[in-house]
Amino acid sequence: MEEVDEDDDEVTNDGDDKGKKKKKLGISKEAINIIRTTYRNNIDLTSIADSKANILMSLNSLMLTFLIPIVLTNLDDIMLFNLYIPLILLAITCVACIIIAALATRPVRMGTQKVKTEAGKRTRMSPFFFGNYYRMKREDYFEMLEEALGDPELIMDSIKLDLYFLGKSIGEKYHKIRICFLVFILGISASALSLIVVLLMR
């Protein structure tokens, strides 16, 4: 009877150890809510960045659309009164802003969301981002996905990779949009200032 009790104790202890491991590797509801909120916020920030870039592209394209026919129909007067200087500055500003804003809305490069692990281990990448597996064979992707889903630590690593690279791409978008706004402000200011100087020198 005593031996049976000892075996039972060992079984229960092993069960407790497995339970503790599961608790350690599991994801709490609070963590899941935080991850969901972070994903949602990042997606909203991406939409805001794209909207700002589209506004800048539309505004500068509209300015160029009005500028070109005005210059072509009044070319002689523009050259006579040296108005070509502010107009050239304005055109350069518009083109530069359109290019930078287009770069801000450009999709991220596929297959770049990966990190190298310690020596002897393969490169790790998230199986939940389409850019990492859109060129993979179906069997290879299924194997990678099953491996990740079978290990809570790999799931957490994949989530962390997704959040990191998503935040990095958003940061690059906002950096380019900030540069675009700076170019727009400086270009408009330089064009207006040069126009004032040209008019005063007449």
pLDDT tens, position by position, 128-176: 887 788 888 888 888 888 888 888 888 888 888 889 988 999 999 999 9
Q: Tell me whether strands 114-116 and 123-125 are parallel, antiparallel or unpaired.
A: antiparallel
Has residue 16 got a pLDDT over 70?
A: no
pLDDT tens, position by position, 21-69: 444 446 788 888 888 999 999 999 999 999 999 999 999 999 999 999 9
Provide the residue ranges of all domains of the chain, joining segments of one domain with +. 28-200
**Residue whose token pair is 């801000």:** 104
CB 157 within 8 A of CB 121: no
Question: Cα(64)–Cα(67) distance, rounded to whole angstroms?
Answer: 5
What confidence category does residue 15 fall into, taking pLDDT thresholds of 50, 70 and 90? very low
Question: Cα(192)–Cα(202) distance, rounded to whole angstroms?
Answer: 16
- Which range is least confidently modeled, 1-15, 30-44, 86-100? 1-15
Distance of CA 120 to the CA centre of its chain: 31
Among residues 123, 124, 133, which one has the least CA distance to residue 161?
124
**pLDDT at 101 (0 to 100):** 97
- pTM value is 0.75
**pLDDT at 1 (0 to 100):** 43
pLDDT tens, position by position, 97-134: 999 999 999 987 765 555 555 544 555 778 888 778 88
Handedness of CA 124, 130, 132, 134 (dihedral sign): positive
